[in-house]
A and B are shown apart, each in its own frame.
Chain A
Amino acid sequence: MEDTVLKVEKFSAFFGDNKVLKDVDLTVRRNVVAALMGPSGCGKTTLIRCVNRMHELIPGATVTGKMTLIDEDIYAMQPIVLRRKVGMVFQKPNPFPTMSIYENVIAGYKLNGIRMAKSELDTVVERSLKRSALWDEVKDTLHRKGTFLSGGQQQRLCIARALAMNPEILLLDEPTSALDPKSTSQIEELFVELKRNVTMLLVTHNIAQAARVSDVTAFIYLGELVEFGPTEKMFTVPKDKRTEEYLTGKFG
């Protein structure tokens, strides 16, 4: 089994002529939670959106450099093939409003026209909802619409939806910033469990969250990867002065 899930090499991203990511080099190992932190607008969201090539949906957005998922060049793959191997959870929970909880979980299969036996689908639904710690709360109401759940439950549903596709890596873009503190801590606990089976790249503007859940952290500032290393070390003995200033709150 390959140990490296994601490799980013001299990677830059542009909005038109505006360079928002500058020659980033990054490696994420299997079964690790890697946090991307940095002040607003530093490029961390752009970076993960480049991993599943959502960045290029914006007109005028371009990239240079290389990104490799396991052993495949991300930018040589067909985007829709890539996106089935990479899961994404967004800041605002977005279950599909016309579908039930059950249908939401298997949406990745249904929408892609992938046919599976009902028993297989049932297994996928149960497994994904258990992995996202939502099964016990919804197992009797699987056929109700997803929008009736609370914010935290909706987000766990979105996590289940992403997990159902068995992605190589799960990208999370500030997944708890729209949730209340209780739901936030529920989901943070979930991450600790999840990483046993899934590799996660987590964008967060919450330094404390990065400290709580991640194994490795990358600090990004003004599009540059300033520092990247084991979380505990970085937070206690940051190597770069800018990292230290950020951690001590000199700039937000």
Chain B
Amino acid sequence: MTGNHIGRRLAKDALFKGVVCLLAFLSLLPLFLILYYITMKGISVINWDFLFSLPRPIGESGGGVVNAIVGTLMLIVLSSVISVPCGIAAGIYLSENKAGKLSNTIRLCVIVLQGTPSIVIGIIAYLWIVAPLRTFSALSGGVALSIMMLPVIIKTTEETLKLIPYHLKEASLALGVPYYRTILKVILPSGISGILTGILLSVARITGETAPLLFTAFGNQFMNVNIFKPIDSLPYRIFYYAMSPYPEWHSFAWGASFILVVLALALNLIARGISVKWKIQF
């Protein structure tokens, strides 16, 4: 009588667990396939030439992606220079002013900014910088990417600083240290690991972004270090090569993808390492 009933329930229980586990691991399948493809097709392309020479024009074989690598690094530096000071300052403001209309408005804007599609930000950077200057430029790409970095930096700065105990600020103020020095010399250093992690994670995020660069940095066959001219980047080169009809370029796309993934992974690992090793105990 109840024997069967219980049996059925237990069977359902086991079946459910099985299905959950199966689906969970199935969703990892694409990950492994992607990593497999990148490694297999990408590694074979990587050699000294690939890393250090410029792309060859259509029809000629060989060449490399050095301009894309340099371009990506330049864009990272540009966008960090713009977004890090502003983002940290705004994050400090939010952690010091937990309530209030301005604080809540800023937080809302951060949420909206974070969810804005990257292509829309690309259009904005185009309208603000490319159109007036009448040229595609690394600067416009940097501006677009910095807008994308801001929300992450602001949020992690705010979260990190909120965790710092109040009595630390008190101790500094009681020594007669002015408020701004207390923040800059006591509070910020105590939160440095969290803030750095936030910066690295946001850099990792924008390293792979292509959409905002389509009409800002634009891409460049040649090496360029002038921020007022178009500049190449790894994601853009991958896109350009992937959509082309040439098999050699397709394998270059895999090679560039390999470099990009290694770069993004390295940034993530460094961020993780910092948050563990540099963590301040209170």
B174 and A54 within 8 A (CB): yes
Task: Provide the bound-state CA to CA distance between A79 and B182, in Å.
Answer: 14
* A54 in complex: contacting residue of B165, B173, B282, CB < 8 Å: B173
- Whether B174 pairs with A83 at a CB distance below 8 angstroms is yes
Please pick, from B170, B171, B181, B192, the residue contacting A112 in the complex, using a CB distance under 8 A: B181
Interface string of B189-229 (1 = CB under 8 A from A): 11010000000000000000000000000000000000000
B178 at interface by CB-CB < 8 Å = yes
- Provide the A63-78 mask, 1 if CB < 8 A to any CB of B, else 0: 0000000000000000
Task: Kindly report which residue of chain B lies nearest to residue A79, judged by CB atoms.
Answer: B176
Identify the stretch in A4-12, A91-99, A235-243 within 8 Å (CB) of chain B at 4 or more residues: A91-99
Contacts of A162 in B (CB 8 A): 174-175
Is B135 part of the binding interface, using a Cβ–Cβ cutoff of 8 Å? Answer: no
B165: A residues at CB distance < 8 A? 94
Determine which of B173, B178, B185, B282 lies in contact with A97 in the assembled complex, contact meaning CB atoms within 8 Å: B282
Count class of interface residues, chain B: 20 to 34
Instruction: Report the Cα distance A162→B173, complex, angstroms.
Output: 12
Contact of B186 among A54, A86, A111 (CB under 8 A): A111
| B281 contacts the other chain (CB 8 A) | yes
Contact indicator B175/A107 (Cβ below 8 Å): yes
User: Quick check: A111 and B177 within 8 Å, CB to CB?
Assistant: yes
**Do B176 and A81 touch (CB < 8 A)?**
yes
What's the minimum C-beta distance from B52 to chain A, rounded to whole angstroms?
A: 41
Q: Once bound together, how far apart are the Cα atoms of A162 and B280, in whole Å?
A: 23
Given contacts A111-B185, A112-B181, A147-B282, whether A98 and B190 have CB atoms under 8 Å apart is: yes
Contacts A98-B190, A111-B181, A112-B181 given; does A82 touch B171 at CB 8 Å:
no
B175 in contact with A165 (CB, 8 Å): yes
Asked if B176 and A94 make an inter-chain contact with CB atoms under 8 angstroms apart, the answer reads: no
B9 touches A (CB below 8 Å): no
* Contact (Cβ within 8 A) A97 B280: yes
For A158, what are the chain B residues with a Cβ–Cβ distance below 8 Å?
A: 171
Per the CB 8 Å criterion, the residue count for chain A at the interface is 30
Provide the B244-274 mask, 1 if CB < 8 A to any CB of A, else 0. Answer: 0000000000000000000000000000000
Partner of B170, one of A94, A111, A113, A161: A94
Q: Is A52 an interface residue (CB 8 A)?
A: yes
Q: Counting chain B CB atoms within 10 Å of each CB, which of A80, A83, A88, A111 scores highest? A: A111
A57 to B185 Cα, complex, angstroms: 19
Q: What residues on A are CB-neighbors of B134 within 8 Å?
A: none
- B101 CB-CB contact with A under 8 Å: no
Known A96-B186, A97-B190; contact A108-B170, beta-carbon cutoff 8 A: no
- Interface: B167 (CB within 8 A): yes
**Is A84 positioned at the interface, with any CB of B under 8 Å from its CB?**
yes
**Chain A residue at minimal CB-CB distance from B178:** A80
Q: Which residue of B lies closest to A104 (CB)?
A: B171
B-chain residues with CB within 8 Å of residue A108 when the two chains form the complex: 175-177
Subset of 24 A-B contacts with CB under 8 Å: A52-B174, A54-B174, A80-B176, A80-B177, A83-B173, A83-B174, A84-B175, A85-B176, A86-B174, A90-B170, A90-B171, A94-B168, A94-B171, A96-B168, A96-B172, A96-B186, A97-B190, A111-B172, A111-B175, A111-B182, A111-B185, A111-B186, A112-B175, A112-B176
Apart from the given pairs A83-B175, A107-B172, A111-B177, 4 other A-B contacts in the complex at a CB distance below 8 Å:
A54-B173, A54-B174, A88-B174, A112-B177
